[in-house]
Copies of this chain bind each other. A is one copy, B any other.
């Protein structure tokens, strides 16, 4: 049985709550979070860059998104959400969307738990960029050049999301 938590402060997209004396942030009305390791047949990794106000800067990440938070999408499966987010953010469709696993990101401060998918058989059908207020830049990077490219982005002041590295290992994709 789940322990109860106490609501401390409520905003439309984030609640601050406390359980057993421990304070953390949670997203109401979200049934899951998906992130996608998207690799083309030419061994390129599809990444996204966007401003993240929490870190007051631009972050490069795997495409990702919330499940169940949009009207009309309340009942979608994790796989359907992963396909939708990949298309919305990057403009890519895929033949296979394979579930790799699930894990926490920062369990000291958030209950965010991500399901990681591997998208294969990619086909570019649009520009991506996100929906509504999202302003997402798509980056398609050759795997053999990925680590050097990430170092360059860092020199330019862009933060790298650690889930890029996690996803690659979970998908068994080597870059060297």
Contact = CB atoms under 8 A, between A and B. Distances in A.
Interface of A: 2-3, 8-9, 11, 13-14, 16, 18-27, 52-56, 59, 61, 101-114, 116, 159-170, 172, 176
Contacts of A103: 159-162, 164-165
Contacts of A9: 8-9, 16
A113 B16 contact: no
A55 B104 contact: yes
A161 B116 CA distance: 12
Contacts of A102: 159-160
A112 B163 CA distance: 13
Contacts of A20: 53
A114 to B, nearest CB: 7
Given A25-B24, A54-B109, A159-B113, A59 B104 contact: yes
A172 B174 CA distance: 10
B24 A53 contact: yes
A106 B108 contact: no
30 contacts: A3-B53, A3-B56, A8-B9, A11-B18, A11-B23, A14-B16, A22-B53, A22-B54, A24-B25, A24-B53, A24-B54, A54-B107, A54-B111, A61-B107, A101-B160, A102-B160, A103-B160, A103-B161, A103-B162, A104-B160, A105-B162, A105-B163, A106-B110, A109-B110, A114-B162, A163-B166, A164-B166, A165-B170, A166-B169, A169-B169
